Structure 1
């Protein structure tokens, strides 16, 4: 791949997804796009780039962007955020929402669905505490292929062994050939929707809890700050944001700030509040 083609692909992918590819990721571009090119009938990566430059093939453009997304996920990933949500965040929100009995949760990079399904299982296990409550879980992702898998709720033996306690496997899954399928009542509790984080968040509405974990890692500083600012405006004043363990809001604007006591939890900055010197 020529330097010019690499630069073009980096610009093309960033403009459509926000993903920032640095020179050391050149191998990643080649390893992911060469197989895609072959399935599309292009003999070389250069031929694929020529087709992109020519324009007019929206399906190819979408496939190139989706090929560069990372769909690494597993059930109850990192565990701590789920414990914090159940033990610290939800009790407070349930008390605050007692009159409306409604909560909205957004998984902003849902990938193949393990995160939103983990939330659905956790909430289901709370039983009577949530009886009569309306809880909406919106799960979005850039990759339509990942979302198709998420909607199906079918996972391999390897996937259900990654983070999923065996008692939850037996309770919420049935074996389907060499795969496991999550219960239809849990699938029905989640709305899966393709969504690009570069788009306006306002039409999604306001959320009490947002999970946007291990996705900001793939954006440059300016895009991280922009996404955090827009998420901050969609969180209820007493709501919260969960980021990945290796992610932070430090140096990324002032719409959200670290929770004073809960590690890995971020809250909208109070309007009119100033940053401490």
Structure 2
């Protein structure tokens, strides 16, 4: 059974107000699928009825659970190999050289459960184990931010993108799974941040990874997010978007092609 139009519109409006993510017509099945576990946990086998209950008298916690269930948290280690090849071979060596003794600051702006942020930490360590890198991972979903900060991954997660050598070098096996080595984890921090709202407390960033996020926003929101990302970037910094995304519609960035990857410099 597909959720009816009234309940779907309410969910879509809630998600848009909280995150600026647009759930247009045709996303009813996604809403039904993502909210089914929440409805079952509440003792309601019908998503439509559960949403109706939350809409009429639900708690802030329930509304937040709906929002977080409908954010996309697909990620893996070193996702998109050519991207990380360019970061390893060109972008990060250039930043490390340009910043001298100052720390290099990197932002994984849709960090999900942390694999992208920790992948950046591994690259920095491989390039110069004695240099200080400060890596911040942010996500709108507090649940995945908590997982990322814990730095512990199960067998399935650890198998997606890591070599055996990387697992041996950067993880400690435990009864709960594989945990990021503390010597690497200390360079990475996580916080909850909504890209559709003002960025509070972020330092100037040398590299921003904002991948596969803008596709969920409408055009005015995309421009607004790019404008605020530009405001926290250091001179000479880089912006990296997803392969289906572009900053060419704004006058804020200049594209630069490196191999098969397009990155952006602040204008």
1:103 matched to which residue of 2? 104
2:254 matched to which residue of 1? 257
Counterpart of 1:40 (choices 39, 42, 57) is 42
Superposed CA deviations along residues 226-266 of structure 1, whole A, max 9, x for unmatched, are 21121122111210111112222233x22223125462211
Cα displacement (A) at 1:56: 6.2
**2:72 match: secondary structure:** coil
Equivalence map 1:21-170=2 (5 Å)? 21-54=23-56, 57-98=59-100, 100-127=101-128, 131=130, 133-170=131-168
Cα displacement (A) at 1:134: 3.1
Counterpart of 2:228 (choices 227, 230, 250) is 230
Give the conservation status (yes or no) of the 8 Å contact 1:232–1:267.
Answer: no
1:273 matched to which residue of 2? none
Report the TM-score, using the length of structure 1 for normalisation: 0.88
Counterpart of 1:244 (choices 234, 242, 245) is 242
CA distance in structure 2 between the aligned counterparts of 1:205 and 1:47, rounded to whole angstroms:
45
Cα displacement (A) at 1:202: 5.1
2:6 matched to which residue of 1? 4
CA distance in structure 2 between the aligned counterparts of 1:115 and 1:86, rounded to whole angstroms:
14
Count of matched residue positions in the alignment of Structure 1 and Structure 2 = 264
Give the conservation status (yes or no) of the 8 Å contact 2:247–2:253.
Answer: yes
Q: Which stretch has the larger CA shift, 107-116 or 223-232?
A: 223-232
Q: Which stretch has the larger CA shift, 154-163 or 107-116?
A: 154-163
Report the TM-score, using the length of structure 2 for normalisation: 0.91
Give the conservation status (yes or no) of the 8 Å contact 1:208–1:235.
Answer: yes
1:274 matched to which residue of 2? none
1:177 matched to which residue of 2? 175
Cα displacement (A) at 1:72: 0.7
CA distance in structure 2 between the aligned counterparts of 1:31 and 1:61, rounded to whole angstroms:
16
Counterpart of 1:199 (choices 187, 197, 200) is 197
Give the conservation status (yes or no) of the 8 Å contact 1:229–1:256.
Answer: no
**2:105 match: secondary structure:** strand
1:188 matched to which residue of 2? 186
Superposed CA deviations along residues 151-185 of structure 1, whole A, max 9, x for unmatched, are 22222222222111111111111222372222122
Unmatched runs of 5 consecutive residues or more in structure 1: 270-277
Give the conservation status (yes or no) of the 8 Å contact 2:193–2:199.
Answer: no
Superposed CA deviations along residues 73-121 of structure 1, whole A, max 9, x for unmatched, are 00000122222222212232223222x5221111100101111111111
**1:6 match: secondary structure:** helix
CA distance in structure 1 between the aligned counterparts of 2:256 and 2:57, rounded to whole angstroms:
46
Cα displacement (A) at 1:210: 0.5
Instruction: Please report the RMSD computed on the Cα atoms of aligned residues, expressed in angstroms.
Output: 1.9
Superposed CA deviations along residues 8-53 of structure 1, whole A, max 9, x for unmatched, are 1111111101111121111000111122122123453333333443
